[in-house]
Structure 1
Amino acid sequence: MDQRNLEREQANGVNGQQQPSANERPPQIFKLNVDYFEKVFEYLSIRDLHSFGQTCTRMQKVAGYYYKEEFSKDLFHHDSEFDGFREYVEYMGTGKEGVDWNKFKSVKKIYFDVLCTTFIEKIPKEILNKIEEIECNFCTPQFFEDVLVHFPNLKSFNFGFSANDDDWLTRKYPKLEHVSWISLTGEGKSAGKLQTFFEKNPTIRSFEMDPMTICSMGTSMAKAKLDDLYVDLFQSHLDRIPVETFRTVTQFLYDKGAFKRIHLTIHANKCSIGEYTKWKSPFSLSTVHTKGIDLSPLVHLGELGFPQFQSAHKDFVNMINNPALSKGLENLKKLYFWEAHIDNILPFLHLSPKLEKIIVEHEILKKPVFIDPVALNRERKKLSEQLASKGINVSKVTFFIPESNYLETKWKTVDTNFKFIEIRRCPGEIL
């Protein structure tokens, strides 16, 4: 029996539970198995689910199992009031000492404000051995001297600090697969060490860098064998980096096989996307501001994101209505909004046959606040019927929306899963 089925049986009270005597009559609700409870839990908020789990030991296991299946990868702050879920949390955030680590038995990913060796030494070794991913705003250089001792199974590391602290690039990390390194200087002093890093760490599959660092020492990445290269472009970078330089370096790396896909995040009011996207490789684009940005040159676009509210901009409407853009959206698979009007989302259901996922993280800004899955399914079906004669299949879209919108939708429509559309609760932070 695999671990998942074992946990399911334990939640059902089948495995390891003391059975009632012949004279005892357990409550009728105990006769229900986890499947029935899961149907009920779809209508509950995180707060209500936690309250349900506080009623008795059996219900705590049932609610905990559902939390583990649906929410364990959401960011859970260590001092959250929902203490009944702590043993199931996989992703926790902390910026303080004094955490009762023994309550977080399932943690695999941690977010730190500041990462230093003295703080890490207070975490039990059995928990450190489980950590696969770390995110932090700042880490001390000394930490890297002991990282292999503290986190032997580390697979992903996201951090930022001065490029002067670059000795970590000379070490071998046997299981590391992803690094996000945002240099504060963007100088090329670490070029030799960066080349050494990729030579010693062939397990690295994705890397995130700032464009200044790429342009100053990107050629030292020629021996990398990445699946994905992530780049954040801010207005200050766009003002300082010649378009031709950035494009030449990244095209060189792509031709050398250093990466398969490039992912751009544009943080700028104005940008000539066409100048930055003349690559032969598939890429994704995430924009913070659409004003002044023409997306029509995009022909390999796999992901598109709008991390700030765009719907009020007329440029957004003009951009979506641009006939030239429809060609670029044919390969779109993932769409992200911080917040949006539902009317801004509908065009993508009509233009992107390969679209599989839409995420609205913060708020749907149009009343009624519930989402009509029947209407969305009908709109997606229209595209399927239009493309059927051409032999083009249309993907089912999973639509992730905030909890408030999801619960309003679930209570009013009941069924949220159809042939072309499924509505689900968006992952988030548990405070």
Structure 2
Amino acid sequence: MSDEAPSKNEKSTSPTPTCDAEKTDDQMVAAAAAVLQIQENPPDIFKLDVDCCEELFEWLSIKDLHSFGQTCKRMHRIAGIYFRQNYPGAKTEFRSDGIYYDSTRLDGFMEFIDDISIETYDSNLLAYIGKCKSLKAINFKFLDKGLKFDMISEVLAKVENIQIIVGELKEKDLELSPNLKRLIVNWSCNAYLLFKLNKCPKLEHINFPPIEGRFKGMERFFEQIPNIQSISIDWRILYANKNGFLQSNAKLDTLIISLRDDEVDETFGSILNELHDRGFYKRLHLLQMDFAGGRQQSIDSFASLRALDGLLIANIETDVIWPLMQNLKTIVIGDFNDFDLTTLPSKLPMLQRIDILLDTTMDVIRAFIRWSKDLKQIRIKSTIEDVETILDLTSLNKERAKLAAASKVIIYVPEDVFLAKKFAGGVSRSFIEIKRFESAKSDLFYS
């Protein structure tokens, strides 16, 4: 397709859409669409309105969408905005030769990418990241000595989420991100910065460092970050500083705790329930990351928690008898061995979302569809070999229709599975819909 320069008459009647970061997506799409409509003798595909373009994009892989967007400047704008709006879960990564999502190079969408991972410093990094005008989140997998925050200060000024897995954050770096809302850092080298967070007045979420012992002044810690809504913390750190938390005036929405099975004792439930009763937090998310865990004692302790809202469990032992968890809304399951997942719906009456990280069966999906009335999402991250058998939409839709007052369920699957179902007969029924995993936005609880 050609992208010839407009004539003088066209210039006088239609401004060419710009990549002004201040414009909303809707404004940018409208501007691009306006140019398409008035172009003299455009190719037939340019006669399609934006809604038709978006319907076409539904049939494309991310790789094909990116290729489509490289045909001309106008389609680049429409495809790029569609990518930003419809692929919030597509985590992109900077590499030495470009920006990628998995094995797909996405350099053409740089100005539309809002979340990127940076593994290490490279001489090409500054040129690439400078073109990412929409960035809201950066994950520094390894912040080495070659990259300093002041080198990308213009980008950091707009960033809202920063994660540093390995590397040292400096006090002056906090001042470069006045719009920062979420900060996840390896604090081991500079835990003192926890008490310098007043430099980030909009901060809503932080993690606590995995350092043994008490933090002095914990009862006053939250006064410096009045907008804080959630924290993530290792259970050992919370236990060591429980008195400081109990004495603080913080009112969190969500408390996220990571722990191992052998750390759950008789004080576990009582401390967390007391913190909840005093108003320290409203909702509790537990991340049980122990792949040798999932024993009966720890799961029974989880059931005693009055505010348990989300649970990530890396392993469930085969002989566990799952207790009633009255308020649990989200569960993420890793290895469940030979544990029968079909028994869970009756034990989780408020469940709204389940993520299954490993292989699953039609019986498991059918059980949740049939009995979990409030269920809204099923996320299946692993590859599904027998797509037709496991995701028989007609059969699942009939099961859902039997459940009175049941909500519609969206099943998120890998892109290859989504496209296979799309071409095989559709991805939507009245009670069931299939979407790409990448279209589900990651959150603090699970990413």
- 1:26: how far off? 2.1
Determine if the alignment matches structure 1 residue 54 to structure 2 residue 70.
yes
Residue identity matched to 2:284:
I
State the distance in 2 between where 1:182 and 1:349 align: 40
- 1:2: how far off? 7.6
Q: Give the structure 2 partner of residue 260 of structure 1.
A: 282
State the distance in 1 between where 2:361 and 2:29 align: 37
**Structure 2 residue matching 1:368: 3-state secondary structure:** helix
CA contact (8 A) 1:260 1:282 kept: no
State the distance in 2 between where 1:167 and 1:68 align: 33
**Structure 2 residue matching 1:227: 3-state secondary structure:** strand
Q: Give the structure 1 partner of residue 432 of structure 2.
A: 421
Q: 98, 111, 121: which one pairs with 2:150?
A: 121
State the distance in 1 between where 2:206 and 2:349 align: 30
- 1:195: how far off? 2.6
Q: What is the correspondence of 1:5-24 to structure 2 with a 5 Å cutoff?
A: 5-12=26-33, 14=34, 19-20=38-39
Q: Give the structure 2 partner of residue 382 of structure 1.
A: 402
Residue identity matched to 1:408:
A
Determine if the alignment matches structure 1 residue 45 to structure 2 residue 64.
no
CA contact (8 A) 1:138 1:161 kept: no
CA contact (8 A) 1:229 1:261 kept: yes
Q: Give the structure 2 partner of residue 411 of structure 1.
A: 423
- 1:31: how far off? 0.8
Residue identity matched to 1:375:
S
Q: Give the structure 1 partner of residue 171 of structure 2.
A: 145
State the distance in 1 between where 2:433 and 2:28 align: 27
Q: Give the structure 2 partner of residue 389 of structure 1.
A: none
Q: Write out per-residue CA displacement over residues 234-258 of structure 1, whole angstroms, 9 at most, x where no aligned residue.
A: 24xx2xx351222222122111100
State the distance in 1 between where 2:264 and 2:399 align: 43
Q: 303, 309, 321: which one pairs with 1:277?
A: 303
Q: What is the correspondence of 1:82-231 to structure 2 with a 5 Å cutoff?
A: 82-97=106-121, 98=123, 99=125, 100=127, 101-115=129-143, 119-125=148-154, 127-140=155-168, 143-162=169-188, 165-172=191-198, 173-183=200-210, 185-188=211-214, 190=215, 192-222=216-246, 223-231=249-257
Q: Write out per-residue CA displacement over residues 101-135 of structure 1, whole angstroms, 9 at most, x where no aligned residue.
A: 2221100001101347952111142x212100011
Q: Write out per-residue CA displacement over residues 78-113 of structure 1, whole angstroms, 9 at most, x where no aligned residue.
A: 232221111100001112223122221100001101
- 1:326: how far off? 4.1
Q: Give the structure 2 partner of residue 251 of structure 1.
A: 273
CA contact (8 A) 2:84 2:112 kept: yes
Q: Does the C-alpha gap of structure 1 residues 280 and 43 become closer, same or farther in structure 2, counting only changes over 3 Å?
A: same
Q: Write out per-residue CA displacement over residues 367-425 of structure 1, whole angstroms, 9 at most, x where no aligned residue.
A: 437833222221111122xxxxxxxx2111111110010000011113x2332111111
CA contact (8 A) 1:372 1:409 kept: no
Between 331-340 and 401-410, the greater mean CA deviation after superposition: 331-340
State the distance in 1 between where 2:190 and 2:69 align: 50
Residue identity matched to 1:287:
I
TM-score by length of 2: 0.82
- 1:170: how far off? 4.7
State the distance in 2 between where 1:9 and 1:67 align: 16
State the distance in 2 between where 1:2 and 1:281 align: 41
CA contact (8 A) 1:341 1:365 kept: no
Which stretches in structure 2 are left out of the alignment for 5+ residues?
1-21, 442-447
CA contact (8 A) 1:170 1:193 kept: no
State the distance in 1 between where 2:395 and 2:342 align: 20
**Structure 1 residue matching 2:268: 3-state secondary structure:** helix
**Structure 1 residue matching 2:400: 3-state secondary structure:** helix
Aligned pair count reads: 397
Between 204-213 and 54-63, the greater mean CA deviation after superposition: 54-63
Q: Does the C-alpha gap of structure 1 residues 147 and 68 become closer, same or farther in structure 2, counting only changes over 3 Å?
A: same
The percent identity for this pair of structures is 28
State the distance in 1 between where 2:328 and 2:286 align: 10
Residue identity matched to 1:404:
D
TM-score by length of 1: 0.85
**Structure 2 residue matching 1:134: 3-state secondary structure:** strand
State the distance in 2 between where 1:382 and 1:103 align: 51
Q: 389, 392, 409: which one pairs with 1:372?
A: 392
Q: Give the structure 2 partner of residue 33 of structure 1.
A: 49
CA contact (8 A) 2:378 2:409 kept: yes
- 1:51: how far off? 1.2
Q: Write out per-residue CA displacement over residues 35-66 of structure 1, whole angstroms, 9 at most, x where no aligned residue.
A: 11111111111111111112222221221121
State the distance in 2 between where 1:18 and 1:42 align: 22
Q: Give the structure 1 partner of residue 383 of structure 2.
A: 363
Between 325-334 and 398-407, the greater mean CA deviation after superposition: 325-334
Q: 350, 355, 370: which one pairs with 1:336?
A: 355
